[in-house]
Structures are given as structure tokens and as C-alpha cells.
Amino acid sequence: MSESSTAGARLRAALDHERPLQVAGTVNAITALLAKQAGFRAIYLSGSGVASASHGLPDLGVTTLQDVLEDTRRITAAVDLPLLVDADTGWGSSLMIERTVRELIRAGAAGLHLEDQIDAKRCGHRPGKQLVATAEMCDRLKASLDARTDASFVIMARTDAVAVEGIAAAIERANCYVDVGAEMIFAEAITSLEDYLRFTESVAVPVLANITEFGKTPLYSVDELREVGVKLVLYPLTAFRAMNAAAARVYQTLRTTGTQKEMIEAMQSRDELYSLLDYYRQEQ
């Protein structure tokens, strides 16, 4: 396979084509197909999504590399959109981080992000986060960069320092990560456009804004984030939350009324699903 056709190269090309690049969170293959149908050029697999959607567990560092690889393979088999994968803290030592990178490349991912929380991590928008020293995070990044078997595979560094140490310290950490070789920065839990601007003006690589619902970051629009220099806008679990709410209403309605008749208009039809899956052509 030529480098220009690799998943990492497709992610970089998408970033060049669309500024900021909207990245849609997908928890499984069918949501990846829907994101592609809607016109997204890049997609994302959330560690929280793996824990909650695939295992019914909270995002507290309880899922493994193998859990993430399984969902990665299913998604990359279904669509050719470049997939950015949440690799949490890398699941262990430098040797384990090296294995993580190699396995994600083999599974078809376009890139990963590693974060600077301790191994017993928690949601980036919850209190009580603890960080490793900058030097330890730099070691994580060095291991990931050294392990790449595909130079186009994207290594992104996530910093949770804004909520723990403040914006200035977070920018200092981010620049250390860039000096080591991080190619993009995931700036978590920023609370103002002014702070996004400080970040993008101070860091030489593309900065990602995590626009997740019910968190610390306001739901800024693409236009607002473009004005402050953000290059990637992530919606990690937007569709998943909407799906859950819809499913809960369906189950409640079925249980209380004994029929789904009133909900038919809100459903994806059989024809719509079969069209998405290319069912009719394959049936022939």
C-alpha cells in the first residue's frame, strides 16, 4: 500500500481540505456508515464510547487495548474514512505503548491520541483528575513515535492540564509535547474562546477542540472555533447520546402502551437501512 493511501495520510489530507475539520464520534460500524453518509471526512472512536457502548462500563480506565482494537477493526472494515482513536494513557509502559501503536496501525486506524493523566484516568470533564509529570508524558510520546511502522500515522497529544494546572501550564506542557514530536494537540476542557486563541497562537501544530455535551466546554460553533484558530472540532459522543435517549423512549413507550405505532415516523425505515448497507445490490 502506498503511503498516500494509508489511513494516516487520509486524515492529514482531510485536515488540509477542511478547516476546521469536523470529526464525528462513531461507536460502531453502523454509526460510521451514517457519518460517512452525512458527509464527514473523518471519524473518531472514543474510549468512553468503547467502555459504555460496547461493555456497559464507566470510562474509568477499565477497558483494554484489545477492547479498543475490536471496535477499531469493525469500524475500519465498514468505512474508508480515517479513524482517530482514543488510546487513553497507552495501557502501560513504553513497551505497551509501542505495541498499542503497532496494533492500531494494523487495525486500520489513522492516528491516536495519548493523554497526560495517570493510568487510573477519569473523564476529562470530571473533577479530581491527576496528571503525570511532563517528562513521563514525553516518554509516552517518544515510545509512540518510535513504534510507528507507518510514518503517516498521526500521534496526537492530549493535555488535561487546563483544569488541573491552568491555561499557562497547559500551553507549556503542549509545547514540550510538540518538541518531542507530537503532531497535533488535543486541548481538553477549555472553557472560553479566548483560551482557545491563546492555545492556537502559542502552539505550532494543529489544535483540536473537544465539543462534548454536558461538559466544561461551551458548545461553540465551527465558525467560532475557526476564528480562534482551531483546526479540528471533535464531537465524540453526540450521536451516541442521541441514540441512547431515543432508545430509552422507545422501550418506555413499548412497555407502557404495548405498541410502537406512534414512533414509526421517528424510525429509520427498512429501505433506508438496506440502502445504507448496500443490501439490495448484494442480495442480487
Active site residues per annotation: 44, 59, 86, 88, 113, 115, 123, 158, 188, 210
Instruction: Provide CB contacts within 8 A for 280, sequence distance 6+.
Output: 274
The number of beta carbons lying within 10 Å of the beta carbon of residue 65 is 19
- What's the distance, CA 274 to chain centroid? 27
CB of 216 closer than 8 Å to CB of 210? no
CB of 41 closer than 8 Å to CB of 21? yes
Which H helix or E strand runs over 114? strand 111-115
DSSP string of 166-184?
-HHHHHHHHHHHHHHT--E
Tally of CA atoms within 13 A in the half-sphere of 235 that contains its CB: 19
| CB crowding 113-136: b at 16 or more within 10 Å, else e | bbbbbeeebbbbbeeebebbebee
Angle (CA) 82 185 40, round 5°:
30
Residue in 57, 53, 50 with CA at minimum distance from that of residue 83: 50
Taking each continuous run of H as one helix and of E as one strand, the counts in the chain are 14, 8
Provide φ and ψ at 82, rounded to 5°.
-70, 135
